[in-house]
Amino acid sequence: MKTQREIYTGVEIGTSSIKVMLGEFLPGDSLSVLALGEAPSLKMCKSEAADTRVVGGQVAQALAAAERAAGFPITGPVFMSISGAFVETVNITGSVLINEPTGRIAESDLEEATRQTNLPEVPQGKFRLAQSVNRLFRLADGRVLFNPIGQCSRSLEVETQHFIAEWERANTTYCLLSEALGKLEVATVIYTPLAVSSAVFPPAASDESLNLVIDIGAGMTSIAMPTSVGHFHLGQVGIGCEHLANDLSIALDLPIQTARSLVSQMDSLHCTAVATKDNRARMVSINQDNLSKHRVIPASSIELVVELRMRELFELIRRQLDERGAYSWLGNRVFLSGGGARIPRISDLAATVFNRPVVVAQPYRITGRADFQPLPQYNTVIGLIRAGYRDLQVAQQVSQQASTLGSTVEWWKNAWKAITDW
């Protein structure tokens, strides 16, 4: 019956556009997209609202568009992504000595070690996001594993990542959505890199080599490197396609709107992210309506500006991964996501930096209306529904266990499962 359907809503308030997606889960972990509403953000900078009045209006428009497309109002749980330079990652390490005479690690040892990684205190003016992820386990001999159960060691160390956000800046974005939703509440807030990872990689993937997804948004670029029981790396850099538009605007003396159009229409202009140094052999003609001024710009100039910026972005990501010890774990494939993944030959450019094949990320097990195309810019909002759904399930299990059993050990066991599930 229609009333028994569980429909989930994901809302991404991005720098370029606001996306609202309604979806439900089908047997076999498939996500069926029921509706998508989208509206330009207009006044956002690096995932933060520059003009809350304008952005608030756009959020309401995107919600209304999604409801129109679905044919029914939003009622179910709403998940929201959080993104920006004000979110930081804190790694906490916990360790236990293994009491078993053989030194064999049991699940209870993981629970105890994970309990020690609880964030002791959140600085004033900040708050901790609900999700925490296991990064790695380290044995007494220094070996790093993602699932140490059954291994023999004198001690076990676990590293857990917590995400801390500045309260006021996060609350500004949160209020934009909660005001537009009216009586409905936001069920959970998900860190954007976690959402992207949830859309692209099915749970419990192999640990033999780690995948990497890079989501190039308009304002921020998200990076995620999942393991079978957590994430080796989750983070963001404050560089995105808006930087490309800004570079083109300054280099070619174009209005910023024209430069933004250039970035989004690179394919039709036959420009790529890998610059061909042919000087003025290929010219791009641009008509600027507002200035009534006709411009002819070398395609090689556009390509050179784009290549310089994107190569620099990939090199920055590689350097960060290297410093966090993540690059050496990288498998044989890198995935690109977000609106930036649609720039022609961006994969070829990324491959020269990461020395691996690079492909555009596709969401796994997704179905939906015939008019829905799973473009890479929708990965975040798709992942929001998946991650939010998982978050709700884990929270329900933990609360049920805590109330029925009332046992500290059982509660911790479930809390630990909540962490490892990420």
Q: Which residues in 202-241 contact another protein (CB under 8 A)?
A: 237-239
* Pick from 314, 312, 326: nearest CA to 211: 326
Question: Could you say whether residue 297 binds another protein (CB under 8 A)?
Answer: yes
Strands 78-82 and 8-13: parallel
If binding means CB under 8 A, how many residues of this protein chain bind another protein?
A: 35
**Residue 172, class by beta-carbon neighbours within 10 Å (0-12 exposed, 13-18 middle, 19+ buried)?**
middle
Q: Encode burial over 147-163: b for 16+ CB neighbours within 10 A, e otherwise.
A: bbeebebebbbbbbbbb
Q: Which of 19, 46, 342, 386 binds another protein (CB under 8 A)?
A: 46
- The smaller minimum CB distance to another protein, of residues 95 and 320, is found at 320
Distance in Å, CB of 283 to another protein, minimum: 7
Closest among 334, 378, 321 to 360, alpha carbons compared: 334
- The answer to whether 349 and 314 have CB atoms below 8 angstroms apart is yes
| By the rule CB under 8 A, 295 interacts with another protein | yes
Query: Among 5, 68, 154, 280, which residue interacts with another protein (rule: CB under 8 A)?
Result: 280
Whole-angstrom distance, CA of residue 249 vs CA of residue 258: 8
Q: Which stretch binds another protein (CB under 8 A): 25-33, 45-53, 346-354, 390-398?
A: 45-53
Based on the shown chain and the rule CB under 8 A, indicate whether residue 15 belongs to the binding site for another protein.
Answer: no
Nearer to another protein, 3 or 292 (CB): 292
Q: C-alpha angle with apex 341: 230 to 193, nearest 5 degrees?
A: 25
Of the candidate residues 91, 206, 265, 279, the single one contacting another protein (CB under 8 A): 279
β-bridge partners, 164: 88, 128
Q: Is 388 helix (H, G, I), strand (E, B) or coil?
A: helix
308 sits near another protein (criterion: CB under 8 A):
yes
Judged by CB under 8 A, the stretch of 65-73, 139-147, 306-314, 346-354 that binds another protein is: 306-314
Minimum CB distance to another protein, residue 163 (Å): 19
Contact residue for another protein among 89, 155, 246, 397 (CB under 8 A)? 246
The answer to whether 50 contacts another protein (rule: CB under 8 A) is yes
- Judged by CB under 8 A, the stretch of 130-138, 290-298, 351-359, 386-394 that binds another protein is 290-298
- C-beta of 115 vs 295, nearer to another protein: 295
Sole window of 3-11, 33-41, 227-235, 301-309 interacting with another protein (rule: CB under 8 A)? 301-309
Separation between Cα atoms, residue 348 and residue 394, nearest integer Å: 39
From CA 412, how far away is CA 94, in angstroms rounded? 15
CA–centroid distance for 176 within its chain: 20
Figure out which of the listed residues 42, 54, 64, 85 binds another protein, where binding follows CB under 8 A. 85
- Which of these ranges, 170-178, 311-319, 341-349, 365-373, lies near another protein under the rule CB under 8 A? 311-319
Residue number, 80 or 313, with CB nearest to another protein: 313
Q: Using CA atoms, how far apart are residues 11 and 387, in angstroms rounded to an integer?
A: 12
CA 82-84-86 angle, 5° bins: 105
For residues 247 to 276, the per-residue mask of contacts with another protein, x marking binding by CB under 8 A and - elsewhere, is x-xxxxx--x--------------------
Q: Strand ranges (DSSP E) for 273-389?
A: 283-288, 293-298, 330-337, 358-360, 366-368
Span near another protein by CB under 8 A; candidates 3-11, 312-320, 342-350, 383-391: 312-320
DSSP H or E run through 127: strand 126-139
> For another protein, what does the binding mask look like between residues 313 and 352, x meaning CB under 8 A?
---x--x---------------------------------
H-helix or E-strand spanning residue 231: strand 231-237
Residues lying near another protein in the complex (CB under 8 A)? 45-46, 48, 50, 85, 237-239, 242-243, 245-247, 249-253, 256, 279-280, 283, 295-298, 300-301, 304-305, 308-309, 312, 316, 319
